[in-house]
Amino acid sequence: MHDDRSLVEARLRRVLDERLRPAVYPESVPLDVAVWHAPDEPVPVAEGLAAEPEPIAVGARWGAPWGTSWFRVTGTVPEAWAGKTVEALLDLGFDENMPGFQCEGLVYWPDGTPVKGLNPRNQWVRIGAPVEGGEEVRLHVEAASNPVILDYHPFLPTRLGDKETAGAEPQYRLARMDLAVLDETVWQLVIDLEVLGELMAELPVESARRWEILRAVEKALDAIDLQDVNGTAAQARVRLETVLSEPAVASAHRVSAIGHAHIDSAWLWPLRETVRKVARTTSNMTALLDDEPEFVFAMSQAQQWAWVRDHRPEVWARVKKAVADGRFVPAGGMWVESDTNMPGSEAMARQFVHGKRFFLDEFGVENEEAWLPDTFGFAAGLPQIIKAAGSKWLLTQKISWSQTNKFPHHTFRWEGIDGTQIFTHFPPVDTYNCSMKGSEIAHAARNFKDKGAARHSLAPTGWGDGGGGTTREMVAKAARLRDLEGSATVAWETPKEFFTKAEAEYPEPPVWVGELYLELHRATLTSQAKTKQGNRRSEHLLREAELWAATAAVRTGFPYPYEELDRIWKTVLLHQFHDILPGSSIAWVHREARRTYERLADELNGIIDAAQRALAGEGTRELLFNAAPHGRAGVAAGGAGTAVVEGRTTVTERPGGGHVLDNGILRVEVDARGLAVSVYDIEADRETIAPGRGGNLLQLHPDFPNMWDAWDVDEFYRNTVTDLTDVDELAPEGHGVRIVRTFGGSRVTQVLSLAPGERRLLVDTEVDWHETEKFLKLAFPLDVHAERYASETQFGHFHRPTHTNTSWEAAKFEACNHRFVHLEEPGWGVAIVNDSTYGHDVTRTVRTDADRGTTTTVRVSLLRAPRFPDPETDQGVHHFRHALVPGAGIGDAVREGWRINLPERVGPGAEEVAPLVTVDQDAVVVTAVKLADDGSGDVVVRFHEAHGGRARATLTAGFEVAGVTATDLLERPWADAPALRREGNEVSLRLRPFELVTLRFTRA
């Protein structure tokens, strides 16, 4: 037989494009359209419906950036269409290639009932099936003219990312506004041919199945009269029945399709627009559920569910019914799909607490999976948090974006720092916007790494980010792929159904130990410094507020601010979303975030101040309130008392320029360049700084990644560096020296100080930053030989190599830490602690001089200046605090990390305050002291082993205890907790390395 394959395939493409798809709507009449433009921000639905619109013609421009326009669409169904299916086709000016990234609409009936969303791939509204003819049609469309930020030429700087700078130029041109007859037979034929054509293209040319499909398609095309497509479509479908009914082979890969619409809670749009994106999508999906009995849709992020409940009650009623029917599934059990690298221990725990509790309270649904398809890597402390929240599975897709190394598994057990393992799945379809294309399903089957041991994967199916979710075309394709020879099989299933089957099929999958590092988007650890600082400060203020409010409630009857703390926690958790905290959103988002963090700080400081005054009483005695989990200046952790400070610091001139700081513990030499050329540990007789080098070295790099400006830093940035050693001013100040430098358009003021009695060199840095596409680092070259170093993560720390033996280590050239980085030789180490930074890098070189020692350089990432999506990223004044701690063991690193983040509070009072809870073991760190969320008055204490070893500990309650229970994160009794021994107000237990424990004390 002659090879006519290319000829038939080309014929199929043209007939689909030029004859069949246009014939889906064979008859149409124009609708009348009028529009009212809301003057500023979106208005309530009733106001939009009641507004008096002005006529507008198809082809007219509309929609200032971030504006809202209410279209009224009216018309009459022709009498001649009686008995036919009729739909309104409403094209606001869509680009079909940009679902979720441009204008969108929500359609209402005149009484305000939402109908469905309008999106580039979802432009129809069903009027009747069938119609009687003569019906009057009246629809209202709430249309959002969101500007296109990420265009065909991506990453170009734009002022459209903030309403204050976006201007008023109309963004869109009104396109088709018609009533049309839907020919369902032609529509079904189009789906038939798309499925077969896409499947055919994925099969080997030598495959018999490919040629069977080709011949069937050819016969179907022969049956179509191109001058009468609507009259001949049915007979064309008949010629495809046999080839569409051939069952899949028994060994075919199995795909669990889950309706999905990944909606970034903020990104290239502000939070207020996400509220509307979610309403449009949920309207779409509840409508689709009504039409498609096998379809199942899952939505994560409790915050987004809460937005629907609070802002769109009419949509919420439909959602609740669909949930009750088991087909609209709450997924993930987190408040938002957060970043997981940077949130602190308690914040990561509270993501699950608030997310799971929302779904339990609203629907009685207990989530067992963590659902994070788009998060930029996963910290090594996360598995035990997932387990402690009562969950056991994790889904993500993002690791497939890694640039250097291909992850070796799609289904595996992920082991965290404490040994907890979580059954984890990476969908091999490699997208969380699957559209049921044959190429996607074939890629999932081919790409699946665990063939032979397993054959089940998941495909999140639907357009995200306001693109409308799953479409009826996707559902129709999935129906044809349910059991089709040559393809993987496809079935709609819930996340629980998928994970249950996958885990049963693969009970002993391979194990991956440690962080799931994304080899991409590393700069998100640094971009938008003020957002990161606001997050870090909020986390610690919340700790203080809960601690002091709980202490005051137990001791004095102080009214515990349950509602305020709940609201503030949810706001902080929202801003940990994986495009807000990472700094990858538009200017509008980060401008609002800064204001929000300022407001939260005022509220939390008010709670803290009120609780401390209630505890200390009226008096003139100066009290130090210590919210850290370790004693400080003679004041116990969680208590208040008189500070005891011993020793003194001298500041003298240094021969050759600069100054010497000495407090009897450390002697620090700061040279004329403002560099710490010596940080000498007097007791250990040990130098911290590598020979011939200087600590506190600011280094400036060019920073223009190949793409994803706010997200990425590419390794070649290191090829060019400028050491900032010129000094404008250098003078003593207090217990240290003040250094001023200028470079480019920027100015840096630093104070290096050595307080009496302290083993830490404080580095306070103020940067007035006005650079573009630059990366600012703060370097400490250390005289330490270490093959690995520790970075703090949630409820512990994680070790990374300092070498680059393999591509896996080399790819981690920028990594995340929380409060500390620690390096150690046996018996002596160094910690670098911070109050607000996350990104860092660690490198090592062997010196070639006589001592042949090793220089290990730790560099803290301070600031970047990308121009997309916010062209003014980080411009302005920033404050950072770091400390270099020589002679530090891991326990010192933990303690100093907490200390720098919980600065001392000093205020007047009448008497000292005893801690509500004390721990007799320094390795056991208390991360939360609070009252139980249920309002019972029980005291909840959360703690973990922080040094990486086993620990015995006794917790003593500073109040009478009637009982104590080990709980999960949601404060429910938990069987997996360690055994407890209680005697009176004391509880003793043993902890494994990094073990996380929550205890609930019932007060007598």
pLDDT in tens, 74-117: 999 999 999 999 999 999 999 999 999 999 999 999 999 999 99
Q: What Cα–Cα distance (Å) separates residue 781 from each residue in 645, 828, 838? A: 31, 16, 19
Q: How far apart are CA 194 and CA 201, in angstroms?
A: 11
* pLDDT per residue as tens digits for the range 581-636: 999 999 999 999 999 999 999 999 999 999 999 999 999 999 999 999 999 999 99
Q: How far apart are CA 13 and CA 239, in angstroms?
A: 18
pLDDT above 80 for 1:
no
* pLDDT per residue as tens digits for the range 507-559: 999 999 999 999 999 999 999 999 999 999 999 999 999 999 999 999 999 99
pLDDT of residue 645: 86
CB-based contact 795:779 (threshold 8 Å): no
* pLDDT per residue as tens digits for the range 646-667: 899 999 999 999 999 999 999 9
What single string gives the DSSP state of each residue in 522-539?
GGGGTSSHHHHHHHHHHH
* pLDDT per residue as tens digits for the range 823-837: 999 999 999 999 999
| Mean pLDDT of all residues in 409-437 | 98
Q: How far apart are CA 869 and CA 233, in angstroms?
A: 48
CB 215: neighbour CB atoms within 10 A? 15
pLDDT of residue 849: 82
pLDDT above 90 for 858:
yes
- Chain-centroid distance of CA 803 in Å reads 29
Tell which residue, 176, 223, 156, has the closest CA to residue 31: 176
Percent of the chain residues topping a pLDDT of 90: 98
pLDDT of residue 997: 98
* pLDDT per residue as tens digits for the range 446-476: 999 999 999 999 999 999 999 999 999 999 9
CB 606: neighbour CB atoms within 10 A? 13
Tell which residue, 549, 841, 541, 899, has the closest CA to residue 718: 841
Is the torsion defined by CA of 408, 410, 411, 415 positive or negative?
positive
Of all helices (H) and strands (E), which one includes residue 807?
helix 807-810
Ranges assigned E (strand) in 31-119: 32-37, 54-55, 61-62, 67-76, 86-90, 104-108, 114-118
Q: How far apart are CA 330 and CA 198, in angstroms?
A: 32
Is the torsion defined by CA of 530, 536, 540, 543 positive or negative?
positive
| Eight-state DSSP code of residue 519 | S
pLDDT of residue 176: 97
| Mean pLDDT of all residues in 221-242 | 98
- Chain-centroid distance of CA 947 in Å reads 28
Q: How confident is the model at residue 951 (pLDDT cuts 50, 70, 90)?
A: very high
CB-based contact 861:814 (threshold 8 Å): yes
CB-based contact 547:920 (threshold 8 Å): no
Q: Determine whether 152 is exposed, middle or buried from the number of CB atoms within 10 Å of its CB (0-12, 13-18, 19+).
A: exposed
pLDDT of residue 928: 98
pLDDT of residue 800: 98
pLDDT of residue 977: 84
pLDDT above 80 for 35:
yes
* pLDDT per residue as tens digits for the range 290-317: 999 999 999 999 999 999 999 999 999 9
Q: How confident is the model at residue 2 (pLDDT cuts 50, 70, 90)?
A: confident
Q: 3-state class of 797 per DSSP?
A: strand
Q: How confident is the model at residue 906 (pLDDT cuts 50, 70, 90)?
A: very high
The 3-class secondary structure across 100-148, one letter per residue, is CCCCEEEEECCCCCEEEEEECCECEEEEECCCCCCCEEEEEEEEEECCC
The per-type count for the chain, helices as H runs and strands as E runs, is 20, 53
pLDDT above 80 for 227:
yes
pLDDT above 90 for 840:
yes
Q: How confident is the model at residue 561 (pLDDT cuts 50, 70, 90)?
A: very high
pLDDT of residue 850: 73
Q: How confident is the model at residue 852 (pLDDT cuts 50, 70, 90)?
A: confident
CB 849: neighbour CB atoms within 10 A? 8
Q: What Cα–Cα distance (Å) separates residue 135 from each residue in 71, 127, 177, 664, 743? A: 20, 9, 17, 92, 72
Q: 3-state class of 21 per DSSP?
A: helix
* pLDDT per residue as tens digits for the range 358-405: 999 999 999 999 999 999 999 999 999 999 999 999 999 999 999 999
Residues annotated catalytic, as ranges: 374
pLDDT above 90 for 976:
no
pLDDT above 90 for 159:
yes
Q: 3-state class of 334 per DSSP?
A: coil
CB 15: neighbour CB atoms within 10 A? 19
Which residues partner with 844 through β-bridges?
A: 856
Q: What is the mean pLDDT of the chain?
A: 97
Relative to beta strand 254-259, strand 489-492 is parallel
Q: How confident is the model at residue 340 (pLDDT cuts 50, 70, 90)?
A: very high
